[in-house]
Amino acid sequence: MNELTAKRIPGVGIAPTHIINGPRIATPNRGHLLMQGSLSNLNQAAALIDNQTPNLWWPQDRAWFVASEIDYSWTYVAGSHEMLAALMDHPKLEVLQAERHHGCTANADTLNT
């Protein structure tokens, strides 16, 4: 079977066999396929897994971290103050500073309700 052969598996969607059979990590109530690649290949990574973007990702130097909960419509980004300020200043992004007391449940987004 070549690496582009894909199959649907419950809870994962469609992915090439080499990814399905590759390394995984577990978080509470979730299993994650592990992939490695450059930021410029992010769209290709999403196409490999049933058009889902990665929901936990970071660079090799761990200078920043992105977490997108699959059930909610927001993404958390952690990084330097300078990087976060640049995101907050970006005219095409809706960026809000998260505080520990905000929570991350289905009804936590009070701005877009």
Does 60 share its domain with 104? yes
Whether residue 113 has pLDDT greater than 70: no
Structural domain harbouring 16: 1-49
pTM over 0.85: no
Whether residue 4 has pLDDT greater than 50: no
Whether residue 5 has pLDDT greater than 70: no
Query: How many domains does the chain contain in total?
Result: 2
At residue 101, the pLDDT reads 81
48-59: average pLDDT: 76
> 3-class SS at 47?
helix
The last residue of one of the domains, among 27, 49, 71, is 49
CA–CA distances in Å: residue 47 to residues 13, 14, 51, 92: 11, 9, 4, 24
Which residue is associated with the tokens 């200043």?
89
Does 104 share its domain with 76? yes
